[in-house]
Structure 1
């Protein structure tokens, strides 16, 4: 458990240094393998609440980490 705690603390330190919030690296990794994923799929696959995904994606868009597009079928 100590090793797990230390690794999580180090990961949190690194993502903060990069300017990311918790949850954003997981979303970026998912999008790396699933380009053009919908918010619904991101929420479901990353196990993050829909409202949380919405706020994280808005911040990520402001930082130019992602680009949101509207799909005609959505």
Structure 2
């Protein structure tokens, strides 16, 4: 398991109320829900970067294909 550290932050009251409600419904502590949300955000950012790299590779392959055909 990865090392855990404490992070203190502030959130709007409506977000805190929503987290309280979600915590009651799921049985998961607010801190766990926040950790999951941050992990999902990280994964989305990483995927976006990989998609950008993939688009560049596709463009290079298309350019190469045009040279081979020409």
- TM superposition score category, shorter chain reference: 0.3 to 0.5
TM-score, normalization by structure 2:
0.32
Q: Which of structures 1 and 2 has the bigger CA Rg?
A: 2
User: Which structure shows the higher helix fraction?
Assistant: 2
